[in-house]
């Protein structure tokens, strides 16, 4: 059931070193290390059969999303070990991925976005940061990476993120707001994230939607342009993420529904009858 030759932490070290050499961000390496560390504490010797790994996945977290995250990391990990010939076979090839049920991505309605951005109690730098996130769909860390006026153009901005450096469109008015607000007053993602959550609360928006990532989801859901451009704007490496953020064009579906619903016309008659 367990390899007699391979210790999990030793293979972890080889894997993480290779990923760092490949150029993955320090934050990604830290996340990999944390999650694989949990796996290593459970299995000091590397399991080479599927059953113990399936048991680990079944109990690793309270949600399918957590299990699927660990599954993808372990699949990556074991594929690497197999390529390096540190194991004879990959047990993940025999394990089916956790099933993920579709979820409605958290995002703001246009009126909620308006209330958030126009709240008069926001400090000027917070307001500029919110407008930047809402106008570009940048990740929180990518917005923070815009730390010099030289990164701002008239209608584009250059940032650095998970997929490297990229140039994305920005509204000229927002570029001007950001130029006036720089440098940002926050030295870390956590501090900037807290400032964003406080801004959401000032606008009366609380709960899971009160986060910078909600503005990224909102950008995608309210985008009415060419969907193929979103992959580049959002810094994705694959169009697969479109299905996560935007399973279908909801705004277009609503317009089409008004025109083509089987009860079109009947609902008007029903309202007229209810008034009698």
Domain that holds residue 51: 2-94
Give residue 82's pLDDT.
96
Quick check: is 266 in a domain?
no
Give residue 272's pLDDT.
60
- Residues 26 and 142 grouped into a single domain: no
- Choose the final residue of a domain: 62, 94, 126: 94
- Residues 153 and 243 grouped into a single domain: yes
- Residues 67 and 194 grouped into a single domain: no
User: 234 CB contacts (<8 Å, ≥6 apart)?
Assistant: 137, 216, 219, 220, 241, 245
- Residues 53 and 9 grouped into a single domain: yes
User: 208 CB contacts (<8 Å, ≥6 apart)?
Assistant: 106, 214
Give residue 3's pLDDT.
44
If phi > 0 it is left, if psi is from -120 to 50 it is alpha, else beta; for residue 145 that is alpha
Give residue 100's pLDDT.
81
Quick check: is 263 in a domain?
no
**How many domains is the chain built from?**
2
- Residues 146 and 223 grouped into a single domain: yes
The DSSP result for 45-100, as a single string, is EEE-SHHHHHHHHHHS-SSHHHHHHHHHHHHHHHHHHHHTTSSSS-GGGGSPPPP-
As a residue count, the chain comes to 276
Q: What is the mean pLDDT of each run of 10 residues along the chain (276 residues)?
A: 72 97 91 97 96 96 92 97 94 94 81 96 97 96 94 92 87 96 95 97 91 94 87 85 73 81 68 57
Give residue 34's pLDDT.
97
Maximum Cα interatomic distance, the chain, rounded to a whole number of Å: 83
Q: Are strands 164-169 and 156-161 parallel, antiparallel or unpaired?
A: antiparallel
């Amino acid at each position: 059931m367990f390899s007699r030759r391979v210790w999990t932490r030793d293979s972890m070290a080889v894997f993480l070193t290779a990923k760092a050499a490949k150029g993955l961000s320090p934050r990604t390496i830290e996340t990999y290390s944390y999650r694989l560390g949990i796996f290593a504490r459970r299995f000091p010797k590397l399991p080479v059969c599927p059953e113990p790994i399936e048991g680990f996945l079944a109990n690793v977290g309270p949600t399918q999303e957590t299990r699927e995250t660990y599954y993808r990391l372990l699949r990556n990990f074991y594929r690497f070990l197999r390529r390096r010939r540190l194991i004879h076979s990959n047990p993940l090839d025999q394990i089916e991925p956790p099933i993920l049920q579709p979820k409605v991505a958290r995002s703001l309605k246009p009126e909620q976005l308006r209330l958030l951005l126009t709240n008069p109690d926001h400090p000027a730098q917070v307001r500029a940061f919110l407008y930047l996130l809402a106008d570009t769909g940048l990740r929180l860390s990518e917005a923070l990476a815009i730390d010099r006026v030289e990164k701002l153009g008239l209608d584009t901005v250059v940032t650095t993120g998970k997929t490297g450096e990229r140039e994305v469109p920005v509204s000229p008015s927002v570029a001007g707001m950001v130029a006036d607000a720089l440098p940002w007053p926050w030295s870390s993602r956590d501090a900037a994230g807290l400032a964003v959550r406080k801004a959401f609360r000032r606008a009366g928006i609380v709960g899971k939607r009160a986060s910078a990532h909600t503005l990224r989801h909102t950008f995608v859901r309210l985008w009415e342009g060419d969907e193929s451009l979103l992959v580049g704007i959002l810094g994705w490496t694959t169009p697969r993420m479109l299905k996560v953020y935007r399973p279908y064009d909801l705004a277009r579906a609503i317009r089409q529904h008004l025109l083509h619903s089987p009860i079109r016309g009947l609902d008007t008659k029903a309202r007229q009858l209810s008034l009698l």
